[in-house]
Amino acid sequence: MRSCKRFFHAITPSFAPRFHAPPMLSLPSLSVRCSRALTCLAALATPFLTGGWLSGPQSTFETEGPVARSQLEVFYVTLWVTGIIFVIVAAILGYATLRFRARSAADEHAAPPPQSHGNPLVELGLIFASVAALVVIAIPTLRAIYFTYDVPEAERANAYTVNATGYQWWFKFEYPTEKITLDAGEGKLVTANEMVIPVGRAVRVNLRTYDVIHSFWVPKLAGKVDMMPNRANHLWLKAEKAGYYWGQCAEYCGESHAVMRFRVIALEEPEFQTWLSAQKKAAVAPAADTPTAQFASYDMTPKGRNAAGYSASFDANPLGQWRQQQQADSAVDAALIAQGRQLFAQKTCVACHVIRGHHIGGNSAAPDLTHFGSRTTLAGGLLENSPVNLHRWVTDPNGVKPGNKMFVGLPLGGSVMPGYMLKDPTNGHLSPNIQVSDTEARALVAYLSSLK
């Protein structure tokens, strides 16, 4: 007991005997304070009790692949080690604070108890315990660093490769092994914001950026690795089952960083091959015998910038929604689609966006829209690809994604390709350039949505 006391004196050298209660402030009554405290506790405890704090589309606790699982294991080891340290330190601190508090006026003026600075047993013991804790954390950390760095040797022959490039504020996905025919010759399959991969195969993702630093993160599969200017980074991931996974840029990259998102859709090999062959084709146009449907009228009640981007049916089954999105509409308004296709050129959208087979040229620094209608998201993964959301996007892009390059103009080398606004090079002032009326937007929506 004596040595115990000495130990506590050693680690709580001076404040314990001089502990004062703070002067009383004017506080609400005890019952009010109790009810407030209980409300607070209930609010904090609800997610814990319901398990809600561990789930969600971007939860790192629900891993769906080996890379994310390895990262979660490191988290748990660190959590356990630091948790045990916290419990021990808090228990000692609590004990010492209560046991050695000043109980009387005499205690307050008493001389400090014997001090034990430099006690070799205590000092060496704490050093050894700290080193041991670090070693326990270091072993799984080093193993995870080695494992997550690149595709394991055994899986390399069967690995699939995708090149991902970050732009302010969207992701381009290029499939280097999937060749397509372009007017200018052979090219690589390119898509935007939705990375479709095969299930059960290691996928090596080469990470690049067009402008500033972005970071590639698919919480349930792998991450996060920065996309750095002038640096070739990579990561690998593997989805163990077919699924629809949320991704997010995880490095602050400008005003719309928070809405720079993407999706990873993992498909069994036959479905993946079907998707690839559909994507390799040029853009479709309604066949002469397609049944005509009046393009659905939709409610355009103004919605705030932060209005929910997804419908309940989408949230309930995103992969099902994605599959449905691959199907061509059985009936379309061919005249409206043709009008939209014309407007796409007239409004100069073609200066940036490629639609293979319809509009050549474009620019590789803007999303390829050849199969835009088959995607479940738009505006960098921010909104569900629905007619209402697309209408919002083409009429008010800056309201949806502030500062986006389609609105302010696309920087190309030393100049800026005008967007919805035209920048005055002398003073930087923006003046309206592209204007899209409600009726024009409906035609553009019909056209873009038909691009399955």
Size of residue set near ligand CUA by CB under 6 A:
9
Any bridge partners for residue 226, and if so which?
215
Contact string (CB under 6 A) for ligand CUA, positions 348-377, x = contact: ------------------------------
Give phi and psi for 119, each to the nearest 5: -65, 115
Cβ closer to ligand CUA: 122 or 365? 365
Cβ closer to ligand CUA: 169 or 344? 169
Q: Judge contact between 333 and 294, C-beta under 8 A.
A: yes
Query: Which range binds ligand CUA by CB under 6 A, 81-89, 244-252, 370-378, 432-440?
Result: 244-252
Cβ closer to ligand CUA: 5 or 257? 257
Least distance (Å) between residue 249 CB and ligand CUA = 3
Q: What is the distance between the alpha carbons of residues 441 and 171, in angstroms, rounded to a whole number? A: 24
The pair of structure tokens assigned to 203 is 């996928």
Q: What is the distance between the alpha carbons of residues 17 and 111, in angstroms, rounded to a whole number? A: 9
Cβ closer to ligand CUA: 214 or 356? 214
Least distance (Å) between residue 250 CB and ligand CUA = 7
Is the dihedral angle over the CA atoms 401, 406, 409, 410 positive or is it negative? positive
Q: Which residue has the tokens 């995880």?
A: 250
Contact between 223 and ligand CUA per CB under 6 A: no
Site for ligand CUA in 200-219 (CB under 6 A): 214
Cβ closer to ligand CUA: 100 or 407? 407
Cβ closer to ligand CUA: 165 or 279? 165
Distance of CA 317 to the CA centre of its chain: 19
Least distance (Å) between residue 225 CB and ligand CUA = 13
Site for ligand CUA in 3-42 (CB under 6 A): none
Q: Is 237 exposed, middle or buried (0-12, 13-18, 19+ CB in 10 A)?
A: buried
Q: What is the distance between the alpha carbons of residues 259 and 214, in angstroms, rounded to a whole number? A: 12
Distance of CA 436 to the CA centre of its chain: 31
Rg (CA), the chain: 30
Instruction: Indicate the residue type of 38.
Output: L
Q: How many CA atoms lie within 13 A of 203 on its CB side?
A: 29
Site for ligand CUA in 169-198 (CB under 6 A): 169
Cβ closer to ligand CUA: 260 or 264? 260
Cβ closer to ligand CUA: 95 or 252? 252
Cβ closer to ligand CUA: 214 or 371? 214
Least distance (Å) between residue 169 CB and ligand CUA = 6
Least distance (Å) between residue 191 CB and ligand CUA = 18
Tell me the three state secondary structure of residue 421: strand
Sequence-ordered strand ranges (E) for 268-420:
377-378, 383-384, 410-412, 415-417
Least distance (Å) between residue 210 CB and ligand CUA = 10
Least distance (Å) between residue 214 CB and ligand CUA = 3
Query: Which range binds ligand CUA by CB under 6 A, 246-254, 327-335, 390-398, 434-442?
Result: 246-254
Least distance (Å) between residue 254 CB and ligand CUA = 7
Roughly how many angstroms between the first and final C-alpha of the chain, as a whole number?
78
Least distance (Å) between residue 207 CB and ligand CUA = 12
Give phi and psi for 182, each to the nearest 5: -115, 165
Q: Which residue has the tokens 């609105």?
A: 407
Cβ closer to ligand CUA: 171 or 244? 171
The pair of structure tokens assigned to 45 is 């405890």
Least distance (Å) between residue 208 CB and ligand CUA = 13
Distance of CA 257 to the CA centre of its chain: 10
Cβ closer to ligand CUA: 8 or 169? 169
* Residue selected from 66, 166, 367, 419 as contacting ligand CUA according to rule CB under 6 A: 166
Instruction: Indicate the residue type of 272.
Output: F
Distance of CA 244 to the CA centre of its chain: 13
Give phi and psi for 53, each to the nearest 5: -70, -15
Site for ligand CUA in 248-277 (CB under 6 A): 249, 251-253, 257, 260
Return the DSSP state at 239: -
Least distance (Å) between residue 229 CB and ligand CUA = 12
Which parts of this chain interact with ligand CUA (CB under 6 A)? Answer: 166, 169, 214, 249, 251-253, 257, 260
